[in-house]
């Protein structure tokens, strides 16, 4: 069937973008990313977008599809085309560079704010410990979800709190914080508590809109991670 794509276009040297429509034949099985490749190959070689794995594991191709952040490679075109024109825009909360490509720097800055790595590994490392067993079911489940995060920035893009307050680290960085907050290999819990509690930027600033849970292509449930940390934060001194 025919699909009409209404796509945001912007040259790197332009301030404001414009829109352009492309008509593509889409059989079942064709994803939005497949359609982008066809537009680039057959209609406009200058069309710019990010891609790598085309299998929903690298996190490159998140864009706004009909106003909601999603991975282009994981979105079938035909079912959307049946409903009408497919409106494609770059992610929100990040500056546009060219067409669907956005500047990721603010996303990575927020991510690095939570110091996303084992801060201080235990000195004598015991490779025999069962670290999942040190956690209850709730944490085992949420931790396995935290590992799934592909840093596609879909949640960051659609976070109303981040739009309102650019100090807020956003959902993905909160998931990373969660991952290390509960890692029994990391002996430095106090640092994590401080990051979580930081006024404006920490998870305490989240307004619980829950868009992150809806748009996450890997079902990481960032708000759940945020809520668990918030509930378990020790009382402020």
Partner 1 sequence: MNISDRFDFDVVIMGAGLAGMSAAVKMAEDHPNLKVALLSKVHPVRSHSGAAQGGINAAVAADDKWQDHYYDTLKGGWFLGDQDAVRILTEQAPQAIFELDRWGTAFDRLADGNFAQRPFGGQRRNRTCYVQDLTGHALLTTMYEQTVKKGVAVFDEWFAFALVADDGAFRGFLAFDLKSGRLGWFGARAGLIATGGAGRIFGQSSNALINTGDGMALALRAGAPLKDIEFFQTHPTGLQNGILITEGARGEGGYLINKDNERFMERYAPKFMELAPRDLVARSIHTEITEGRGFDDGCVRLDLRHLGAEKIKERLPQIREIAMYFAGVDPIEAPIPVRPTVHYTMGGIHADVDCATPIRGLFAAGEAACISVHGANRLGGNSLLETIVYGLRAAQTIPASLDGAPPAPAAAIEREMDKFRALFADGDGESVPALRREMVRIMTAGFGLKREEKGMVKELVEIDALAERAKNVRVREKNLVFNIELVRALELGCMVDVGRACAHASLPRRESRGSHFRYDYPKMDNAKFLKHSLVRQDAGGALHLDYLPVTIVDVPPLDEIKY
Question: Which residues make up the interface to partner 1 (CB under 8 A)?
Answer: 11-13, 28-29, 31, 40-42, 45-60, 74, 76, 97-99, 101, 103-104, 112, 115-118, 121, 125, 127-133, 143-144, 147-151, 180, 183, 185-186
Least distance CB 226 / partner 1 (angstroms)? 19
How distant is the alpha carbon of residue 20 from its chain centre? 26
CB–CB of 215/223 below 8 Å? no
Least distance CB 93 / partner 1 (angstroms)? 17
Least distance CB 236 / partner 1 (angstroms)? 28
Cβ proximity to partner 1: between 50 and 192 the closer is 50
Least distance CB 223 / partner 1 (angstroms)? 20
Cβ proximity to partner 1: between 32 and 161 the closer is 32
Angle, alpha carbons 36-42-44 (nearest 5°): 70
Share in percent of the chain as helix, strand, coil (round to 5): 40, 15, 45
Query: CA torsion sign, 52 to 93 to 70 to 65?
Result: negative
Q: Which of left, alpha, beta for 94 (phi over 0: left; psi -120 to 50: alpha)?
A: beta
Cβ proximity to partner 1: between 21 and 120 the closer is 120
Distances (CA, A) of 11 to 17, 43, 46, 145: 8, 16, 9, 37
Least distance CB 118 / partner 1 (angstroms)? 4
Cβ proximity to partner 1: between 56 and 86 the closer is 56
Distances (CA, A) of 75 to 28, 61, 139, 155, 217: 11, 11, 30, 16, 10
CB–CB of 35/51 below 8 Å? no
Least distance CB 37 / partner 1 (angstroms)? 8
Cβ proximity to partner 1: between 22 and 47 the closer is 47
Cβ proximity to partner 1: between 97 and 204 the closer is 97
Distances (CA, A) of 90 to 62, 161, 189, 205: 8, 19, 37, 26
């Amino acid at each position: 069937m025919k699909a009409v794509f209404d796509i945001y276009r912007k040259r790197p040297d332009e301030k404001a973008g414009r829109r352009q429509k492309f008509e593509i034949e889409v059989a079942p099985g064709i994803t939005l990313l497949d359609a982008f490749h066809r537009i680039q190959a057959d209609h406009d070689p200058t069309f710019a977008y990010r891609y790598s794995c085309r299998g929903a594991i690298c996190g490159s191709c998140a864009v706004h599809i009909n106003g909601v952040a999603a991975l282009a490679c994981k979105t079938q075109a035909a079912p959307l085309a049946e409903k009408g024109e497919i409106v494609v825009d770059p992610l929100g909360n990040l500056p546009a560079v060219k067409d669907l490509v956005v500047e990721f720097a603010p996303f990575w800055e927020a991510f690095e704010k939570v110091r996303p790595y084992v801060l201080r590994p235990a000195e004598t490392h015991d490779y025999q410990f069962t670290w999942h067993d040190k956690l209850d079911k709730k944490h085992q489940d949420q931790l396995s979800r935290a590992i799934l995060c592909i840093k596609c920035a879909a949640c960051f893009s659609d976070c109303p709190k981040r739009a309102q307050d650019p100090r807020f680290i956003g959902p993905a960085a909160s998931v990373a914080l969660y991952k290390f907050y509960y890692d029994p290999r990391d002996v430095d819990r106090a640092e994590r508590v401080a990051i979580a509690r930081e006024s404006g930027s920490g998870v305490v600033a989240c307004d619980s809109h829950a868009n992150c849970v809806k748009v996450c292509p890997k079902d990481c449930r960032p708000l759940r991670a945020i809520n668990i940390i918030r509930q378990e934060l020790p009382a402020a001194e």
